[in-house]
Amino acid sequence: MTKQDMVDLVERYFYGVDRADIDVIRETLTHDCVFTVETHDVTLVGIEEIERMFNRLWTNHASVRHQDFVHVPDPDARRIAVRFSVINSHHDGSRTHKSNCNFFEIRDARFSRVAVYMAGENTLDLS
């Protein structure tokens, strides 16, 4: 993959997250993807566990928006790091602003590993 291919894959993933479109997200992940929230000691393995986590995120928030991306692709290592800001809109109208970093590993043009470093509370809560 080229650097631009990697950036496009990241942006497609977040397009799916922000639009609550699990089909788009599934297109970006390997079936055995490992998804971790490193700052909150969370590990999910496989698309089904990841899908349940996203469904909780969307149920618990009125909307989620990721923006202001800074991409650092490394095609030789098949990895890309991304810094971005997040705005989570709550059902009561309040908002939470966060600054996060994700580290993605790529296999067969999909993410095989996603490591999330999240500021503040875990909005990808498993409960």
Domains of the chain, residue spans: 3-118
Q: What is the pTM of this model?
A: 0.93
Query: Do the Cβ atoms of 12 and 28 come closer than 8 Å?
Result: yes
Task: Give the CATH number of domain 3-118.
Answer: 3.10.450.50
**How would residue 105 be classed by pLDDT, with cut points 50, 70 and 90?**
very high
Phi then psi for residue 33, to 5 deg, are -55, 140
Which two tokens mark 123? 């909005």
From the list 65, 66, 35, the residue with the least C-alpha distance to 48 is 35
Per-residue pLDDT, 93:
93
**Beta strands 42-45 and 63-74, pairing class:** unpaired
| pLDDT tens digits along 48-85 | 999 999 999 999 999 999 999 999 999 999 999 999 99
